[in-house]
Amino acid sequence: MLEWKVEARKHARFFGFSLLVVCSVLAAHLALDNTVTEVLWVFAVILTSAAAAAYVAAHLFHHVALDGDLLFHMSTQSAVKKFALKTVPLFLGFCLVGCVTLFGYLNGDGSDGTAGFLLYAYGSKIASFGAFVVTVWVLARLVTRLRGLSTQILVSGVLFVAFVGLQVYGHWTWHSLSGLNWSVGSSTEFLGLPMHANVLAVVVGDGGTEITPAMAGSFVVNTVTVVVGAAAELLLFSRGRSRRALATVPVASGSAV
């Protein structure tokens, strides 16, 4: 368990501070309920969501593409364990902050969703975080061999925007968003359907509060992204690396690295 605790400690300061900010502002918003606290709450949601995404992306990119965290890279743990150790604590921290920001959205004016709908909203949010973590990891792997940090950031950024843009376009087409009130980004009010293009919220107004196939589509796409990305890392990237020492004698059971 110690290795898990150490990974958690690496991020405790950032996520602890983010939680403190968002919870304090939420408490003030609920207690006072005036325009000032409302504006503060909107800003707190936008800032913490953006900061958490940037933090997670930077940390994963530094680890995967730039070979940061030398001690961790040198360890002889399995590829599965290394992947889990690096992604799960970040994912959980992201979820903690994200689910608090969802509170206002689900409990704002006009909220009339059923328990199933609320549960779906949290599930959709959590799947979007998982998809983001895995997408950043895979993109960082793809640009590892490019020379120069700026090229790496540029190429992975373009690929990320294209991947998310494609999903927004898909939702637009499938859900006929042209005829509805919709926006891209985080929302603090209960405006409609909680959908996500990867980590980006696509908030649709006047869409009712029923879970439709189109709405479930974003959840499915993000879940598939998590599964495919994790499989690519474990079956393709980590095995394909020419960094392994081969055995001069047959590998004894349990002693191979």
38 vs 69 by CB, closer to another protein: 69
Interface residues toward another protein, by CB under 8 A: 2-3, 6, 9-10, 67, 70-77, 147, 241-249, 251-252, 254-257
Q: CA-to-CA distance for 217 and 150, rounded, in angstroms? A: 34
Q: Residue 226's closest CA among 196, 193, 198, 186? A: 198
DSSP state of 100: H
6 vs 224 by CB, closer to another protein: 6
71 vs 115 by CB, closer to another protein: 71
Task: Give 27's contacts (C-beta < 8 A, 6+ positions apart).
Answer: none
Q: Is 111 exposed, middle or buried (0-12, 13-18, 19+ CB in 10 A)?
A: middle
59 vs 175 by CB, closer to another protein: 59
To another protein, the closest distance from the beta carbon of 226 in angstroms equals 26
35 vs 253 by CB, closer to another protein: 253
Q: Residue 24's closest CA among 57, 47, 55, 56? A: 47
To another protein, the closest distance from the beta carbon of 85 in angstroms equals 10
To another protein, the closest distance from the beta carbon of 19 in angstroms equals 19
To another protein, the closest distance from the beta carbon of 10 in angstroms equals 8
To another protein, the closest distance from the beta carbon of 146 in angstroms equals 10
153-178 residues labelled b (16+ CB within 10 A) or e (exposed): eeebeeebeebbeebbeebeeebebe
Tell me the backbone φ, ψ of residue 80, rounded to 5 degrees: -65, -45
